[in-house]
Amino acid sequence: MDSHHYYSPESALLLETRERWIEIVSHYSSRDLTFPKDKFPALSGLGHNYQRVWKVAYYAGMWKSTLCKHLMWFLSPEEGNHSKPLTYRAPSWSWASVDGRISYQTPVSWVGSSCIELKQALVKFKGADPMGEVTSGALILYAHVQCLSTQNGQSWEELLPKNAEGFNTYMTIMLDFGGLKDFKHLWLLYVTEGEGLTLKRAPTVMETYERVGVFRKIGVEETKQY
pLDDT in tens, 110-144: 445 678 999 999 999 999 999 999 999 999 999 99
Beta bridge partners of 103: 74
Query: What is the longest distance spanned by two Cα atoms in the chain?
Result: 56
CA nearest neighbour of 62 among 72, 74, 76, 52: 72
- Tell me the residue type at 13: L
Average pLDDT on 103-109 reads 60
pTM over 0.85, yes/no: no
pLDDT in tens, 144-179: 998 888 766 667 666 666 665 655 556 788 899 988
- Answer whether residue 91 shows pLDDT above 90: yes
pLDDT at 54 (0 to 100): 81
Distance (Å, whole) CA 69 – CA 61: 12
pLDDT in tens, 186-207: 999 999 888 899 999 998 877 8
- Dihedral sign, Cα of residue 130, residue 134, residue 136, residue 142: positive
pLDDT at 181 (0 to 100): 84
CA nearest neighbour of 157 among 135, 145, 172, 146: 172
- Answer whether residue 35 shows pLDDT above 70: yes
Q: Which residues contact 68 (CB under 8 A, 6 or more apart)?
A: 1, 112, 114, 116, 191, 192
- Answer whether residue 81 shows pLDDT above 90: no
Q: Where are the domains of the chain?
A: 9-217
Cα 194–chain centre separation: 14
88, 97 in Cβ contact below 8 A?
A: no
pLDDT at 199 (0 to 100): 97
- Confidence band, pLDDT 50/70/90 cuts, at residue 226: very low
